[in-house]
Amino acid sequence: MKAELLDLTEENLIEAPEWASRPYSCKWCLYWEEPELLLDPAEGKKGEMFQRKLAWLRLVRAEFGPCGKLLYLDGKAIGYAEYAPARFLPNSRNYPAGPVSEDAALIACLFIPAREHRGRGLGSLLLKGILDELRSRGLKAVEAFARRGSPENPVGPVKFYLKHGFHIRRDDEEFPLMRLELEESG
């Protein structure tokens, strides 16, 4: 098993993993970027949604820098991560445990859709890649709205983040805001 982690780019976004339920792939998901837009990729909107995601990716990469990762296993993309300051992820304002701190990047997605790839340390590898990059860029902290009680969440479960040194910054019954100080962790 050969794992490889690459920055998310305009060229490789198309390779983001797919699965059988909505939104069918992170490459078509605009949940964080355009919460007011309710497009369903199953209704023939994949092309439009992909173009909107590419436009978002271009904007964030130009203003913030790298903002995502793809995790490949034996040459096939099996994991996806997306992160940026909250100003690029307007749906973050709709979470009761918010707002996201001004000094933090928000992990909007850290997802390995296929169950057979979970529990093998691959999510940890994806998170480590994000944390190493954000540290090298001098960011102070990273936050995420993790899910309590269920691993079925594109950001990941609370226990995953606790295991990696995050703490609950603001609690919520379902989606507490998790935080990790980057300069203190390592």
- Per-residue pLDDT of 26-82, as tens digits, reads 999 999 999 888 767 777 889 999 999 999 999 999 999 999 999 999 999 999 999
Arch. (CATH architecture) of 3-181: 3-Layer(aba) Sandwich (3.40)
Calpha distance 103→12 (Å, rounded)? 29
The confidence score (pLDDT) of residue 7 equals 98
pLDDT per position as a tens digit, 161-179: 999 999 999 999 999 999 9
CA-CA distances (angstroms) from residue 82 to 44, 112, 130, 151, 172? 24, 12, 9, 18, 22
Return the amino acid letter for 130: I
Query: From residue 88, how far is each of 32, 59, 91, 168, 177 by CA, in Å?
Result: 8, 9, 9, 22, 17
Cis peptide before 66 (omega within 30 of 0): no
pLDDT, tens only, 134-145: 999 999 999 999
Strand runs (DSSP E) across the chain, as ranges?
3-7, 68-73, 76-85, 104-111, 141-145, 167-170, 177-181
Instruction: For residues 121 and 163, give the distance between their C-alpha atoms in angstroms, rounded to a whole number.
Output: 12
Q: What is the pLDDT of residue 39?
A: 67
